[in-house]
Structure 1
């Protein structure tokens, strides 16, 4: 015998799905595509019939005929591509019409079910517990409504699947259209086939001259058809490279998303996809504003190579246009850096830019994070790194790339050369030092957390970096374990913090520097301090104009970058101690690490200055 507890009220009706887009709008788009295709096809017919003009002969007539033939040849595929797009849109419009009709029916079914469910709830509430006949009827009704609910859910699911299928079918159709870029493809093909096209090893100056020789149409075509080439070609304007690289970035993301949707992403492609997404996120720097003016700082994607360097990727993002600024710093990171971690590098670059702009300068500042070399994938305390093995080739190759980058920037600044500073952190200082020895066209070098300038490359003194020793600056925390690696023998070359090297050392102590409770026993130094050189604390994380506190190092670097490095916070040079193993700076067991800066109290700088 049934009781009221057997009358089970079925679930509430499922949420009504939404239809994205309307058949009318899509139909309008399809009609416009057809109209445009018709005009282009009419032009193609006209052009093919106009390659020869009665009464006109000779060289000029032949040249005219050649140009018109090229235009007609380009117009045909372009018209066909638009017709294919029109057909795909028309099919999608029909699918939307069907989905719209079915959705209206589903809405009515949902409303009916909701009403019947409410009536069942009311009937159950008003039925006496001993009214057996009514209870039996309500139990049967509850089962009927439960079946209706299940059918409704199935109908909604089917409708949603059909909507997604219609959308993906349109995407597949448009993705497969051939000839959308037919005109630019033809133009770009002609440019690449020309005798003036620079080869793979052409100098940045040759690249710049070639680019300047192109017509606006040729430049547009090359940027669209070969964005990976134009975006990474040293010697071209940074804005041109940015446009091409952003185009390549979005194209890659669209492609990888499609492969992921079809479950066809290979492990290497997934890694490149993750790099592309990280680069896109790093470019979206809403918080990166000028601390003085409050204006947004432009982010330019100067290098984009998601599959380069063994899959680690290559990337360079400049905060500020390097072709327009008065002061430019190029920040080069060290080991275990990959393009997928670009956000941290851009954050450091912004901290340095912030410090530079508040240093008292009236000039414009740009800071570029550059990672276009195969950064060794070893830890800073790994024997392969600590003893300088397995990483020399990476530094040399990176140095060559960096030299070309800066030469290209110089080409684009013929009328107004910025003061350029190379900032090498950790193993990045090995790269920048070797680049300096190769002729890197910078005005200043900053080496922070440096293990040395490299071994066996002829660098024994600051002046070997291609600038005068007074324009080479060194920042090393007394608790930075990397400072204990260089001993001038078989590791990464000479100790850059000593008087013998001849650089200008500035204080780089952090208020958070290690204590004897958290140091590495053998080195008597902290791993954390190796990564604190760009340390900046903002008063308001959402408003960088509201003030900040700079660590000693990032404040000093801001002074140096803006040409105010005569006294960036001078620190005493480190020196050897007889108690050190092998005469170097690695302490013998039980010996304290000796660095005059160890007794120096960190002195962070507050901006704006407090009264």
Structure 2
């Protein structure tokens, strides 16, 4: 029998730690598959010794499969229990608050004591007040009884799993591998009973996940369906577990594709495909290297090997619980294999600086930041005619913007409380960010663009960001920021607040296109202040590039929602030949 005093002392974080440890043990066991296969009798060995060895190997396989099944089953039970305990502890806190607000106290034994009865109650209201207090007391008693019932059930379910494991009553899942053994019939049944979201929207995914029982969620986390890790609206912690669990499968699929392409030599037509597969394998290497970082822990929120290039997103910190969450989208030439590690480090620096800014202002809020490489950014290997319908067309940004819009929505909708959410975009990634924001319904509280060739519109209201909460940064000699290819130059858009990139009391200045996120710079300080929800701490200032002093006349193109600026023959006084210099610089950047 579980006592109320026992329940008060329960700690869900302890169960979470056990759940994580069991996951590591399970993975260690499953990873012994190669050694197990290597221990089979060598081909051609026969006789009594060979027969005895074969029987011993068969028994070892059976024992290992049973052990894996037991660990998986107990892990599911522990995960469910952790969720139960967290919910029960929340109910106790709410009951304590209700009791205190009405002058009652819930004792260690679960009784209800009247410690502060109202004083000086008029005689004609005594009976009414008495009845009201009786109702409050009875409601508290009822709440405590329900808490104890829930606690008893949670305790019994966990004990059942532990007993079954101890008595070797758990049957491994079908299939010959150790991984198959973890997928027991009971776990399969629970996962199957969960069904699927009604559609692909983040809202549907969030509603579906929240509607499941603790046992169903635990079963899905133990053996997640392939789509779970990339589904916007699912909690970040769950996506991280699911995507980490898929890495080996994705790698095996890619290695198999590589072997098939290399059989009998590689034709000219297959060389490009083989290069894509090799790049995806390198991308997986970079993903594993990045998510192995632990200070702070990383979350793998996207792992998508479809298409020409790998897509990935890695969170620094806990996206499920952070008070402030930012999502950074990089641009042109970005790839997972060459860029993820660097941008992850920059997000870690941004988180560190944001937290330092909060502490400096007497706040202890938590911060998380995501490096989102969830779209296929244009590459130098593609057609790079900067003035043609190619790398600087908006197609990649528009397609990526739809995905990014859903990613924003998923963060908000997967949580019980909305975080302060900041969208950040650099270069072509700011264009992708612009299209994502134009999709609306994203819940973004602040937006930052830097080194931007345009956000796909000339009207800031199209971005659906609260007034006064859109920021832009432009560094000296950043010619891309004057490109004005997608909706015009943001430097000339009303509604953006200009933040300094020059030397100040808060940091060093930056120049060119690529150093905005460097540590100890004014630009990084400004972004960290916005991410931390402290815009008053920013350093305002505008740096005009060569393109900003050129007279321009907007004219419409066939590309919907965009305008390019005609550098034309007119230049302002003293700006002779600057138009030619700007175009040359942009061509150099994209070459």
Give the TM bin, normalised by the shorter chain: 0.5 to 0.7
Alpha-carbon contact 1:387-1:492 (below 8 Å) kept: no
Structure number with greater Rg is: 1
Asked if 1:502 is matched to 2:495, the reply is: yes
In structure 2, relative to structure 1, the CA distance for the partners of 1:576 and 1:215 (3 Å cut) is closer
Partner residue in 1 for 2:549: 577
Gaps of 5+ in 2: 1-34, 41-51, 70-168, 264-272, 553-566, 583-591
Q: Given the superposition, is the C-alpha separation of residues 402 and 260 from structure 1 closer, same or farther in structure 2, using an over 3 Å criterion? A: closer
Q: Is the 8 A contact 1:473 1:503 kept in 2?
A: yes
- 387 and 469 in structure 1: CA distance in 2 versus 1, 3 angstrom threshold: farther
Write the deviation string for residues 197-251 of structure 1: whole angstroms up to 9, x where unpaired.
Answer: 225x432121122223334443344445544311011111110000000000133
| 1:34 aligned residue | 62
1:557 aligns with 2:585: no
Going from structure 1 to structure 2, the CA distance change for 1:251 and 1:427 (only over 3 Å counts) comes to same
Match of 1:88 in 2: none
Paired with 2:413 and 2:255, the residues of 1 have a C-alpha distance of: 38
Residues 397 and 577 (structure 1 numbering): CA distance in 2 closer, same or farther, change over 3 Å?
A: same
Q: Deviations over 1:413-455 (max 9, x none)?
A: 33x321111001101111111222211310000001101112x
Distance 2:259 2:54 in 1: 24
After superposition, the C-alpha distances for 1:112-171 in whole angstroms (9 at most, x for unaligned) are xxxxxxxxxxxxxxxxxxxxxxxxxxxxxxxxxxxxxxxxxxxxxxxxxxxxxxxxxxxx
Distance 2:478 2:537 in 1: 23
Q: Cα offset for 1:190?
A: 3.2
Other-structure match for 1:190: 192
Cα deviation for residue 283 of structure 1 reads: 0.9
Aligned position for 2:351: 353
Q: What CA deviation, in whole Å up to 9, does each residue of 1:519-549 have, x standing for no partner?
A: xxxxxxxxxx21101112xxxxxxxxxxxxx
Q: In 2 relative to 1, CA 369–389 (structure 1 residues): closer, same or farther, beyond 3 Å?
A: closer
Write the distance in 2 (CA, Å) between the matches of 1:213 and 1:584.
62
Q: Within 5 A, what are the aligned runs for 1:266-305?
A: 267=274, 268-286=276-294, 296-305=295-304
Q: Which residue of 2 aligns with 1:534?
A: 517
Which residue of structure 2 lines up, in the alignment, with residue 326 of structure 1?
323
User: Normalised by the size of structure 1, how large is the TM-score?
Assistant: 0.57
Q: Counterparts in 2 of 1:21-170, with a 5 A limit?
A: 31=59, 33-34=61-62, 78=172, 81=175
Displacement of 1:273: 1.9
Instruction: Supply the distance in 2 between the matched residues of 1:277 and 1:250 (Cα, whole angstroms).
Output: 11
Alignment of 1:391-540 (within 5 A): 391-414=393-416, 416-439=417-440, 440-454=442-456, 459-486=457-484, 491-498=485-492, 500-509=493-502, 529-536=512-519
TM-align CA RMSD: 4.2
- CA 1:269–1:191: 2 relative to 1, 3 Å: farther
Shift in Å at residue 588 of structure 1?
5.3
Rounded Cα–Cα distance in structure 1 between residues aligned with 2:550 and 2:425: 30
- Which residue of the partner structure matches residue 589 of structure 1? 577
Distance 1:204 1:421 in 2: 18
Aligned twin of 1:13: none
Find the aligned partners of 1:339 and 1:226 in 2 and give their Cα distance: 24
Q: Aligned partners of 2:537, 2:249: CA distance in 1, in Å?
A: 48
Deviation at 1:38, TM superposition (A): 8.9
CA distance 1:484–1:238, change in 2 (3 Å): same
SS in 1 for 2:443: coil
Post-superposition Cα deviations, 1:538-569, rounded to whole Å, max 9, x if no partner, equal xxxxxxxxxxxx11111110111111113511
Q: Following the alignment from structure 1 to structure 2, what is the Cα–Cα distance between the partners of residues 392 and 497?
A: 19
Return the alpha-carbon distance in structure 2 between the equivalents of residues 563 and 512 of structure 1: 23
Residue 238 (structure 2) pairs with residue 240 (structure 1):
yes
- Aligned pair in 2 of structure 1 residues 248, 566: CA closer, same or farther (>3 Å)? same
Q: Equivalent residue of 2:494, what SS? A: coil
Specify the alignment match of 1:376 in structure 2: 378
Deviation at 1:390, TM superposition (A): 5.7
Residues 427 and 452 in structure 2, CA contact (< 8 A), matched pair in contact too: yes
Q: CA deviation at 1:255?
A: 5.9
In 2, the alpha carbon distance for the partners of 1:37 and 1:578 equals 72
Shift of 1:391: 2.9
Provide the rounded CA distance (Å) in 1 between the counterparts of 2:53 and 2:496: 67
Instruction: Tell me the residue number matched to 1:365.
Output: 367
Contact kept, 8 Å, 1:320 with 1:367, in 2: the verdict is yes
CA distance in 2, matches of 1:577, 1:350: 36
**Residue matched to 1:56:** none
Does the CA contact (< 8 Å) of 2:383 and 2:391 recur in 1? no
Distance 2:549 2:68 in 1: 81
Deviation, 1:331, is: 0.4
What SS does the aligned partner of 1:445 have?
Answer: strand
**Deviation of the 1:591 alpha carbon:** 6.8
Tell me the secondary structure at the aligned position of residue 206 of structure 2: helix
* Contact residue 422 and residue 447 of structure 2 kept, 8 A: yes
Aligned length: 399
Equivalent positions of 1:301-320 (< 5 A) are: 301-305=300-304, 307-308=305-306, 310-320=307-317
Question: Structure 1 stretches of 5 or more lacking a match?
Answer: 1-18, 42-74, 85-173, 287-295, 515-528, 537-549, 595-611
Superposition deviation, residue 316 in structure 1 = 0.7
Deviation at 1:37, TM superposition (A): 7.1
Are residue 209 (structure 1) and residue 207 (structure 2) matched? yes
- Distance, in Å, in 2 between the alignment partners of 1:508 and 1:323 is 32
Judge conservation of contact 1:253–1:277 (CA < 8 Å) in 2.
no
- Written as runs of structure 1 = structure 2, the 5 A alignment for 1:329-340 is 329-340=326-337
